[in-house]
């Protein structure tokens, strides 16, 4: 039956409607890919019952939902792709419990609040994409500097301010691709990796 299904891939199929609570029945699911559809509604808390999930991809939909904290129960997840949607509310601190996570893509949503310091617990994280969430604010938590496997950190198009923590700067020497808004964020190590127009860079350097 459906409960034995391990992979459900229906990307780009013009699916409408919402994610039903029946999802909780698919307990053996390892891959759930429903991105690039026309789905709407909430992400149900029952998503946390899919404890075998390795990959969850719901991006490119109209899910005007908050991210339920139950998503933190998906401790085997290595890839969480929720980009280009209508997801609102704060980034749940419970994401810090998904210690297997390698890729966290939340860009182009309506997220608000700070970047939780708990993300610093994701010891294997390689990519953290939060760009184009214009209401994500606050400073960059120094805990992100503990993520020595991090290869991509993109905060362009957010309202994050302050300084890039020095331990995060140290990681750019190891090849971290760090993208921040130069006009909002002070970054001593962003000579080559601080993105923006040439005008932005000129204004920043003239204000030193």
Q: What CATH number is associated with residue 94?
A: 3.80.10.10
Per-residue pLDDT, 187: 82
- pLDDT-flagged residues of the chain (< 50): 196-208
Per-residue pLDDT, 197: 40
Distance between CA atoms of 79 and 82, rounded to whole angstroms?
10
Per-residue pLDDT, 191: 57
Structure-token pair, residue 69: 């904290």
Distance between CA atoms of 51 and 60, rounded to whole angstroms?
23
**What's the Cα-to-Cα distance from 165 to each of 63, 132, 142, 205, rounded to whole Å?**
33, 21, 5, 19
Per-residue pLDDT, 204: 37
pTM of the predicted model as reported, rounded to 2 decimal places = 0.89
Domain that holds residue 51: 2-206
**What's the Cα-to-Cα distance from 73 to each of 53, 80, 148, 206, rounded to whole Å?**
10, 13, 24, 48
Per-residue pLDDT, 194: 55
Distance between CA atoms of 187 and 194, rounded to whole angstroms?
8
Count the domains in the chain: 1
Per-residue pLDDT, 20: 87
């Amino acid at each position: 039956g459906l409960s034995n299904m391990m992979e459900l891939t229906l990307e780009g199929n013009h699916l409408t409607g919402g994610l039903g609570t029946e999802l909780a029945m698919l307990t053996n699911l390892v891959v759930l890919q429903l991105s690039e559809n026309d789905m709407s509604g909430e992400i149900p808390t029952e998503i946390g019952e899919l404890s075998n999930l390795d990959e969850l991809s719901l991006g490119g939909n109209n899910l005007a939902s908050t991210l339920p904290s139950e998503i933190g129960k998906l401790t085997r997840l290595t890839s969480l792709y929720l980009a280009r949607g209508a997801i609102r509310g704060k980034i749940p601190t419970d994401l810090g419990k998904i210690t297997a996570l390698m890729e966290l893509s939340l860009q182009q949503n309506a997220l608000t609040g700070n970047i939780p310091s708990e993300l610093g617990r994701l010891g294997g994280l390689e990519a953290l994409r939060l760009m184009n969430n214009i209401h994500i604010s606050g400073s960059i938590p120094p805990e992100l500097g503990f993520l020595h496997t991090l290869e991509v950190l993109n905060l362009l198009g957010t309202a994050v301010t302050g300084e890039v923590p020095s331990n995060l700067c140290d990681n750019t020497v190891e090849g971290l691709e760090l993208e921040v808004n130069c006009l909002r964020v002070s970054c001593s190590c962003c000579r080559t990796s601080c993105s923006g127009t040439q005008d932005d860079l000129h204004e920043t350097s003239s204000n030193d």
